[in-house]
Structure 1
Amino acid sequence: MIDRPLKRNALSTHMESELQRAIQSGDVSSSRAVVITGAGGCFSAGADTTELREMTPSAIASYYRESGGVYEQIANLRQPVIVAITGYCLGGGLELALAADTRVADEDAVFGFPEIGIGILPSSGGVTRAIRCVGAGRARDLVLRGRRFGAVEAERWGILNELTKRGETVTRALQIASELAELDPLALEHTKQVLMASEESSLQASLLLERLAYAALNRT
């Protein structure tokens, strides 16, 4: 759980380091599925940009190798990752959500990439995953204009997998996690890897990955 309610769960380097520790813990390693949500009725209002404002290019490169790498670490977890979104899901919060496999949000959730308004861009996978999720044209509109949009739009564009009523989002995310936890973990891991790799593969390469994964799983 992202728990920094006084800052609307802004993702500081400390919070990112805590997320890293959490996903590297024994509890996560032994789990069949992972659910991430935010405390206080807010998923995350974005990255804590005040920390990064004075960083040199060298320091920023170091940041992405360290706590800033948590977004890719979450994307690459072997287990399915579900995010339960309430309230604001902006900037770095939306980048974190896009790194997950399944996104569930309440009907009042608010989304957006506001970075352009302060002279930066989504740089923790936001641009890349937005293009893959909603297409280049829609991604250009969302990132360049930096406008906010609601949960209904997010579901229609494919950013969200499910909408829930207020107060039901975490319960629904846990239900999905329980369903996934009943499935074979090795099949889930291999299938997740094939799905991720296929996004960037040719048709022939993607078909080959499917067949190799099937052969590896067939006798398990």
Structure 2
Amino acid sequence: MTTAGDVEVARHGDVAVLTLRREAKLNALSTHLESRLLDAVRGDAVKGSRAVVITGGDKVFSAGADTSELREMTPVAIAEYYRESGAVYEAVAALPQPTVAAIAGYCLGGGFELALAADLRVADETAVFGLPEVGLGILPSSGGVTRLVRAVGPARTRDLVLRGRRMTVTEAHSWGLITEKTAAGGHLATALEIAGELAGQPPLAVSVAKQVITAATEASRETALLLEQLAYATLNRIG
């Protein structure tokens, strides 16, 4: 087990576990924490793994981004932010391995966007989700709007984003945003179980299937079918 600043990195067999460790600040995603998480995502423990779990621990996933930092930035500095520490959300989404977010407590703002960047989400009964940015005079800008629209459609995205309301794990599960819901404290064990199952699958097939699923959400029917067929032919040839 290693700790890079505010991020703890551990291995459970073939599964890499990244834990946010800024509990005193409810795991608020400062640029420092984002940078440490980006380092962990790009680090050897993750590169050598076959699945990844991201969690905030037992009580909170993340209460959101440290918006006070961004408010002090110029437009040029904000553009640089998205190229540097703010790139962590897309780095998580682009991992070739399957990723699972293990969620308890607050999962708000940037924390919700980080969870949405994972392939699967497991949440215990204490989890609370929301995107409060519009109420602060800004908007979700780390993939939250884009991923929500693709996951639940524009109407439900407007409901969450424009109203800035919070949703329970039961509602999130009914919308298909949560893969599994657990009793309090059961989120990490369930996430590790799922990640272990994924790690046991042929890694190339999992990685290619993950990429095809992502592409199919934006592609035409004809393009999506072609991607499926080409991917199958490639994997069949390699296998």
The TM-score range, normalised by the shorter chain, is over 0.9
- Conserved 8 A contact 1:9-1:39: no
Aligned to 2:139: 121
Q: How many residues align?
A: 220
* Contact residue 85 and residue 103 of structure 1 kept, 8 A: yes
Distance 2:28 2:209 in 1: 32
Identity across the alignment (%) = 62
TM-score of the two chains, using structure 1 as the length reference: 0.99
2:79 to 47, 61, 86: 61
Separation in structure 2 between the aligned mates of residue 138 and residue 113 of structure 1, nearest angstrom:
12
After TM superposition, give the deviation of residue 39 of structure 1 in Å: 2.8
Residue 17 (structure 1) aligns with: 35
Counterpart check, 1:41 vs 2:56: no
- The CA distance in 2 between the partners of 1:21 and 1:86, in whole Å, is 24
Higher strand share: 2
TM, length-normalised to structure 2: 0.91
Q: 8 Å contact 2:58–2:185 — kept in the other structure?
A: no
What aligned pairs does 1:82-97 form with structure 2 within 5 A after superposition?
A: 82-97=100-115
Question: Offset of 1:172 from its aligned partner?
Answer: 0.2
Please state how far the C-alpha of 1:66 moved relative to its aligned partner: 0.5
CA RMSD of aligned residues (A): 0.7
Distance in 2 (alpha carbons) for counterparts of 1:179 and 1:50? 40
Please identify runs of 4+ aligned residues in structure 1 that moved more than 6 A: none
1:199 aligns with 2:217: yes
Give, in angstroms, the shift of residue 186 of structure 1.
Answer: 0.3
**1:213 positional shift:** 0.4
List alignment gaps of at least 5 residues for structure 1: none
Name structure 2 gaps, 5 residues minimum: 1-18
Indicate conservation of the 8 Å contact 2:104/2:124, yes or no.
yes
**1:40, distance to aligned residue in structure 2 (A):** 4.8
1:145 maps to 2:163:
yes
| Alignment partner of 1:81 is 2:99 | yes
